[in-house]
Structure 1
Amino acid sequence: MIRTVIIDDEARSRETIREMIRLYCSNAEVVAEAEDVRSGISVIRAQKPDLVILDIKMPDGSGFDLLRQIMPVDFRVIFVTAFEEYAIKAFKFNAVDYITKPVDPIELQVAIDRVSKIIETGNINNQLQKMMDGFGKPAPQDNKKIILKTADTIHVLEFDDILRCESDRNYTVFILENGERIMVSKSIKEYETVLEENNFCRIHQSHIINLAHLRKFKKDELICVLKDNSEIPVAYRKRDDLLKVLRNL
């Protein structure tokens, strides 16, 4: 049984996660809860849990502040955040998992199942430390990555590996330079900001392209041609935005 501590400043969020664990995660039990960094440290030291489900932003600091004060870490961590974009920027190591609010019970179950299958290798502290050291700092330009989570895999990709993204209702399909397609259960809107910060452009309600892989823009036909010769439609209302971006390249 995975001894679990929940640390979140929102009582309703703690209650929701606790109930989901009771209903969906027979391999875990909640042994304690805390509402901020200070009380969280006390609970962890008293309970010595196997797993901490940890909110990132709390009134008296962040989840990273808590971990810095309690190092070395000898338990697994699943971070919780209200912002997918925030998580994408923060998490670059698959030794640490994360879930987004509102918490999906299946996503929580998958994350806890992953924890139960992991054999500790002794290098978790180092990976956590690297992540915390880099948190809040811009990643080196040649080492920017994005995390994509599917049901059974955490994909760690460089932005340059992505040709484009397309919307499939409430899902987003990432098309990679090598032809691989990765479907994630998040809308394309949730990725728009972080992608546009990394040389992507939303040219249509259903399409975001990597400008590094753009070969031509057929202005009259409103078509972008990428390096794999795929032709992606440009919405008329996005035409001027795209031209402006291209002039500034």
Structure 2
Amino acid sequence: MRVLIVDDERPARDKMRRLLEQEADITAIDEARDGIDALERLPAFAPDLLLLDIQMPEITGLDVAASLPAPAPLVVFVTAYDEYAIRAFDANAIDYLLKPYDQQRLQRALQRVRERLAQQRAAALTVPSMPLNLNEETISAPPAPQPALPAIRQLLIPERGGTRIVRVEQIQWIETADNYVVLHTDDGQPLMRQTLAGLVDKLGPRFQRCHRRAAVQLDWVASVQHLDKGDGELVLRSGARVPCSRQYRAEVMDRLQATASRAPEQPPSC
């Protein structure tokens, strides 16, 4: 098991590391001094578990949990304040470890994590076998639905002197800017160091690539304007106009139609 300790107090990180080192199945331990540091370490370290403090400078542990990319590591909150317990379990925490804790209490939390990891691995390895005698019922039976990956609800963007929290539903569209992307919202246009393809993949199906330099949140699209040579423009509810190249136009229209069929509103005009 790979574990990332996230706490702004060095003595708390040292104590947790000492206790974790006594567990035989802990194969790697890393530390982050705050939420921003934790999110930056995630891609390279790839932890199975976050041991996450709640009250930290700049952003809280609850904000970090809401910003984890999918598939997210498991989370156990470690805090001195019991008033956050309900919000912690709303964030799908495996356990809530109240300071001061001891080895026995930590082991109970780790056992819950081990059980959840075992369930995940078993589900990933389970491949349904094909029955030898097929009949009409088995042929027509639909496959079992797969659980959806948790969606990111917000992005944390470091800025000079602090961190901006951008709720995903506020993002109207995204465009590239050299090694950054620009997030277009009603509240500004923050820059984020990320590739467009990587961010769209992280944000999930509500976003659609519409140009080699742009992607749009489908719920914001009000109409589609046709231009020459198969290109177009997406007119958003905010009045913004987003380029839509012919390379992506068919997929955009298919996704808009699918979105409209699930919503009570009429589909965008074409």
TM-score for the superposition, normalised by structure 1 = 0.50
- In structure 1, the partner of 2:202 is 194
For the pair 1:233 / 2:243, whether they are aligned, the reply is: yes
Shift of the 213–7 alpha-carbon distance from structure 1 to 2, 3 Å rule, reads: closer
Q: Give the Cα separation in 2 of the matches to 1:202 and 1:74.
A: 35
TM-aligned CA distance change 1:75 to 1:174, over 3 Å: closer
| Aligned counterpart in structure 1 of residue 155 of structure 2, from 117, 142, 147 | 147
Distance 1:203 1:57, change over 3 A: closer
Structure 1 residues 180 and 41: alpha-carbon distance in aligned structure 2, compared to 1, 3 A threshold: farther
- Once the two structures are TM-superposed, the CA of residue 215 in structure 1 deviates from its matched residue by 1.2
Could you give the per-residue CA deviations for residues 85-142 of structure 1, whole angstroms, max 9, x where no partner exists? Answer: x933459xxx99xxxxxxxxxxxxxxxxxxxxxxx9746974766545279986899x
Partner in structure 1 of residue 227 of structure 2: 220
Tell me the SS of whatever aligns to 2:249.
helix
The question of 1:88 aligning with 2:48 is answered no
1:246 and 1:146 map into 2 onto residues whose CA distance is 23
Greater gyration radius: 2
Indicate the residue corresponding to 1:164 in structure 2.
173
Q: Hey, which of these two has a bigger chunk of strand by percent?
A: 1
Within-5 A mapping of 1:55-94: 62-64=48-50, 67=51, 87-89=68-70, 90=72
1:181 partner SS: coil
Check whether the contact 2:182–2:189 (CA below 8 A) recurs between aligned residues.
Answer: yes
Give unmatched runs, 5+ long, in structure 2: 5-9, 60-66, 95-115, 121-146, 260-270
Secondary structure of the residue that 2:21 maps to in structure 1? helix
- Confirm or deny: 8 A CA contact 1:51 1:75 kept in the other structure: no
Match of 2:212 in 1: 205
TM-score normalised per structure 2:
0.47
Partner of 1:173: 182
For residues 190-217 of structure 1, the C-alpha deviation after alignment (integer angstroms, 9 at most, x for no partner) is 21113342x2111011111111111111
Q: Where do residues 90-169 of structure 1 align in structure 2 (5 Å cutoff)?
A: 90=72, 122=81, 126=85, 131=91, 133=93, 145-151=153-159, 152-169=161-178
**Corresponding pairs, count:** 174
CA distance in 2, matches of 1:164, 1:123: 39
CA distance in 2, matches of 1:57, 1:226: 33
User: SS in structure 1 opposite 2:238?
Assistant: coil
Query: 2:234, 2:14 → 1: CA distance?
Result: 55
**What stretches of structure 1 of length at least 5 have no aligned partner?**
1-5, 9-27, 79-85, 97-119
1:248 aligns with 2:229: no
Cα distance in 2 between the residues matched to 1:213 and 1:139: 23
Question: Distance in 2 between the 1:145 and 1:62 partners?
Answer: 20
In structure 1, how many angstroms separate the alpha carbons of the residues matched to 2:80 and 2:20?
A: 28
Against the structure 1 CA distance between its residues 153 and 131, is the aligned structure 2 distance closer, same or farther, given a 3 Å change threshold? farther
Q: Is the 8 A contact 1:7 1:40 kept in 2?
A: no
- Following TM superposition, by how much is the alpha carbon of 1:32 offset from its aligned partner in structure 2, in angstroms? 10
Structure 1 position 156, deviation (Å): 3.4
Measure, in 2, the Cα distance between the counterparts of 1:140 and 1:172: 23
Identity within the alignment, %: 12
If asked which structure has higher relative contact order (CA below 8 Å, sep 6+), I would say 1
